[in-house]
Chain A
Amino acid sequence: QKEVEQNSGPLSVPEGAIASLNCTYSDRGSQSFFWYRQYSGKSPELIMFIYSNGDKEDGRFTAQLNKASQYVSLLIRDSQPSDSATYLCAVNTPENQAGTALIFGKGTTLSVSS
């Protein structure tokens, strides 16, 4: 059973702080990793993806991937109240390359207080 694990939270941080969201996955063959943000009552929206070990930065967001440890994280710098949402980690299933079948974690709820 391929699994993606996330701490459900809530993770509470003050405005301006760095929020760190973590995700582990069970399938060593996984190649691509996605972070989605989901506001309450809305659908998931893509924040960023990563497929190489190391860091990938996009504005206030940094994704970090460590394939040896099967660990991917998302850092949000200068957190804002508008960042309060559930963050979903998703991992692709390697046997289905044309058309990406993703396995999602349950998500981590982030609350940023002003």
Chain B
Amino acid sequence: ETGVTQTPRHLVMGMTNKKSLKCEQHLGHNAMYWYKQSAKKPLELMFVYNFKEQTENNSVPSRFSPECPNSSHLFLHLHTLQPEDSALYLCASSQASGANTDTQYFGPGTRLTVL
């Protein structure tokens, strides 16, 4: 778990709040990802950054705003969320080698509860 860290680990927020999730990877990787994991649903890819450039936005509502200032850090800014946004938010990173073996490693996640 120390390769990819996430803070905070738990977050409770009201629908009018603004908060940010932080992810940091210490693996020297070039790609970083945000996923959402809700109960009874598969992991949903939200955003992909390759070499700090956003390469995928999986039809995510604008109340989620990602930021990738460098290859090691990734943020997810949250504002005016809905109760249905309550979930486990997972960050992952990979080498982005372009090879079939490019493997993603996950952080511990942030458990988000929207009241």
Contacts and interface: CB of A to CB of B under 8 A. Distances in A.
B41 A49 contact: no
Interface stretch (B59-67, B76-84, B103-111): B103-111
Contact of A105 (B42, B48, B94, B103): B42
A43 B55 contact: no
Given A106-B40, A106-B42, A99 B102 contact: yes
A43 B101 contact: no
A98 B56 CA distance: 12
Main secondary structure of the interface of A (DSSP, over half): loop
- Say which size band chain A's interface belongs to: 20 to 34
Given A104-B43, A107-B42, A46 B105 contact: yes
A68 B79 CA distance: 45
Contacts of B103: 34, 46, 49, 100
Interface residues of B, number: 29
A105 B44 CA distance: 10
B104 A102 contact: yes
B42 A104 contact: yes
A97 B98 contact: yes
A98 B50 contact: yes
Interface in A36-77: 36, 42-46, 49, 51
B40 A99 contact: no
Given A49-B103, A102-B104, A105-B42, 7 more contacts: A31-B100, A51-B101, A90-B43, A96-B56, A99-B96, A106-B40, A107-B42
Return the 9 tightest CB-CB contacts between A and B, nearest first.
Answer: A99-B31, A99-B50, A104-B43, A51-B100, A43-B106, A100-B102, A99-B96, A32-B100, A104-B42
